[in-house]
Amino acid sequence: MRLGIGSFELDVDLKVEPGEVVAVLGPNGAGKTSILRGLAGLLPLDVGRVALDGVVLEEPVASVFVPSERRPIGMVFQDYLLFPHLTVVDNIAFGLRSRGTPRPAATTTARQWLERVGLAAEAERKPGSLSGGQAQRVALARALATNPALLLLDEPMAALDASTRVELRRDLRRHLESFRGVRLLVTHDPVEAMAMADRLVILEHGRVLQSGTPAEVTQRPRSRYVADLVGVNLFRGRASSNVITIAGGGSLMATGASDGEVFAVVHPRTVALYRTRPDGTPRNVWEGRAVDLDFEGDRVRVRLEGTPAIVAEVTPAAVRELSLDRGDPVWVAVKATEINVYPA
Amino acid sequence: MALPAHKAAGVRPAAPVALLVLAGIGAAFFLIPLIGLVLRTPWTAIWDQLRSPEVLTALRLSLLASLSATAIALVVGVPLAWTLARLTFPGRAVLRAVTVLPMVLPPVVGGVALLLAFGRRGLLGGWLATTFGVHLPFTTAGAILAETFVAMPFLVITVEAGLRSMDSRFEDAARTLGASRWTVLWRVTLPLVRPSLVAGAVLCWARALGEFGATITFAGNFPGRTQTMPLAVYLALETNPDAAIVLSLVLLAVSLAVLIGLRDRWLGSS
């Protein structure tokens, strides 16, 4: 699908298999919500195609546009958007009533849904008096009550307190598993994405940077965004007989690199620091300058300027022994075998 | 709060005496006529006056006309407010200007304009008369029309503001749940702007109830047909001042009730 809203462009090719939970992960402003709105028919596409179970819902070239209200979708909005003037049970029955189910039958189904999400006692309350977690479950029940083929979730945990998030994430995961249709979730929270999804799609500036299982994505990041999320050093460059010339300056020697454009990942734990130039086995040795020391429990992340710039993770004891402080020059060493190289 | 004393005192500036005197004159200017009205009210005869045929007739007609005007304003004014709030089209600014013009237009001019449109030889008046046999000037329908013309803008701008400040994503949510545009409007949009609808309708009704200029110009002053309360007050002032005062008191009471009813909106709590 491709959308254009003012200067913002979105160009995304996304395929979700039945039974799969896919999370679109990206920073704010990457176009995540626009994808959901596009799929829901709330934001018309300029070019592209939206198809669900083989049925085309939207294709501007062919003048196909199925309006939101006739798409078999359910959507959970970021702040849930429960109708404040309706009771909880009427909120859930809303979709069925809108699709022509008579009131008694719609109410019965809505009550069954409330039962399933454990909120039967709250049926007659107004949404304003619910807790965040309860509101989330009502929103989910409302979206699923119409039995949609596609469930869209926009930052489902963002409106919740950090303290209740872990438990509610488990609950949500359980509810999502009981739904058999296609599930697509967008979030800017990597923990949420990895906890909920079978597959991640990384989105930045309206483009898909990477897609794969959480394990694949974290082991082989293809963007600065993912590398920062995972906390590793990512270099991009051109490899030629095991020497990688880095795009931003500097070079690294690595083993097993195939020639051509590559990504190289160096875990901060494998970066060694020395006060004087080391003469040992490491193939990659260069002089840098510590610009930042970040104490995180029993580890210190040292951000280093140099060619290339890199982040090292050492113990507080090591920092003391080196008497390393901000602005100090320091030698950096990385073993060639510790560099993970894969084609770009 | 731990503010230094001189700073806390500095929040309240010393008021210049001249300013307070002028403010007092301004307040008295509003207050004295009201006191006059209350003092001159023939309290002992008020019940008899209220039951006198001329007061009752005017009262009944006023209620009928102002409520009808409010109903018409709801039926066509809410869609107009929705159009102004939700659609972008060339000429929207002009349409909004035309819609609110009657708020600043001298009502007499409105009456003249209505005559030129719906009068016997008006733009539509002749056609209405020959095609449907409908004559609007100098009829109760004409009085209702005049009141609608003057009062509807209050409803339109209030509801438009309500629609603009409403979170339209609730409408998106309703559509993803399968609600048609009409269902969204009836079950989501209008309930969510209910406070604006109520306030707009009350303002509109109060304005219609007090309408004088456009009504007397377009509909004339026929007791039982077009003589609403304000017209009756004006006329009775010469023949039966007590009736005029009682009618005025009724209108004042209505205004006060509206003000109290909308106090959260207008007067604020601070």
Q: Smallest CA–CA separation between A218 and chain B, in Å?
A: 34
Give, for B26, the enclosing helix (H) or strand (E). helix B17-40
Tens of pLDDT, residues A139-171 = 999 999 999 989 999 998 888 887 788 888 888
Give pLDDT tens digits along chain B (270 positions).
Answer: 444 545 544 556 678 889 999 999 999 999 999 999 888 888 888 888 888 888 888 889 999 999 999 999 999 999 999 999 999 999 999 999 999 999 999 999 999 999 999 988 888 888 888 888 888 888 999 999 999 999 999 999 999 999 999 999 999 999 999 999 999 999 999 999 999 999 999 999 999 999 999 999 999 998 889 999 999 999 888 888 888 888 898 889 888 888 888 877 655 544
Is residue A214 within 8 A of residue A203, CB to CB? The reply is: no
pLDDT of residue B174: 96
Is residue A94 within 8 A of residue A86, CB to CB? The reply is: yes
pLDDT of residue A223: 85
Question: Tokens 């008021």 correspond to what residue?
Answer: B15
Q: Is B123 on the interface with A (CB under 8 A)?
A: no
Tens of pLDDT, residues B224-242 = 899 999 999 998 888 888 8
Would you say residue A282 has pLDDT above 90? no
Is residue A95 within 8 A of residue A146, CB to CB? The reply is: yes
Q: Smallest CA–CA separation between A165 and chain B, in Å?
A: 24
Triad A132, A137, A142: Cα angle to 5°: 125
- CA distances to A94, B57, B152, B209, B237 from B60, rounded to whole Å, are 42, 5, 21, 11, 19
| CA pair distance B123, B99, nearest whole angstrom | 19
| CA pair distance B69, B66, nearest whole angstrom | 5
DSSP state string for B245-258: HHHHHHHHHHHHHH
Q: How confident is residue A115, by pLDDT bands cut at 50, 70 and 90?
A: very high
Q: Smallest CA–CA separation between B192 and chain A, in Å?
A: 7
Beta carbons of A142 and B188 less than 8 Å apart: no
A231-343: CATH topology:
OB fold (Dihydrolipoamide Acetyltransferase, E2P) (2.40.50)
| CA pair distance B194, B45, nearest whole angstrom | 41
A2-227: CATH topology:
Rossmann fold (3.40.50)
3 state SS of A264: strand
pLDDT of residue B108: 94
pTM exceeding the 0.80 threshold for the entire prediction: no
Provide ipTM, 2 decimals: 0.79
pLDDT of residue A121: 92
- Please give the residue of chain A at the shortest CA–CA distance from B181: A69
pLDDT of residue B92: 94
Q: Smallest CA–CA separation between A229 and chain B, in Å?
A: 31
Residues of B in contact with A146 (CB under 8 A): 177-178
| Higher per-residue pLDDT: A322 or B178 | B178
Would you say residue A98 has pLDDT above 90? yes
Beta carbons of B175 and A42 less than 8 Å apart: yes
pLDDT of residue A178: 83
Tens of pLDDT, residues A32-89 = 888 889 889 998 888 888 888 888 888 888 889 999 999 999 999 999 999 999 999 9
Is residue A17 within 8 A of residue A201, CB to CB? The reply is: no
- Please give the residue of chain B at the shortest CA–CA distance from A151: B176
Q: Set out the domains of chain B in order of their start, with CATH numbers.
A: 48-266 (1.10.3720.10)
- Please give the residue of chain A at the shortest CA–CA distance from B183: A98
pLDDT of residue A3: 57
Q: Where are the domains of chain A?
A: 2-227, 231-343
Q: Which of A329, A298, A303 is nearest to A316 (CA)?
A: A298
Q: What is the 3-class SS of A47-111, one letter each residue?
A: ECCEEECCEEEEEHHHCEECCHHHCCEEEECCCCCCCCCCCHHHHHHHHHHHCCCCHHHHHHHHH
pLDDT of residue B270: 41
- CA distances to B144, B260, B269 from B263, rounded to whole Å, are 28, 5, 8
- Alpha-helix runs per DSSP H in chain A: 32-40, 88-98, 103-116, 132-144, 162-177, 190-196, 214-219, 224-230, 316-322
Q: How far apart are the first and last CA of chain B?
A: 19
Residues of A in contact with B179 (CB under 8 A): 69, 94-95, 98
| CA pair distance A34, A26, nearest whole angstrom | 12
Would you say residue A24 has pLDDT above 70? yes
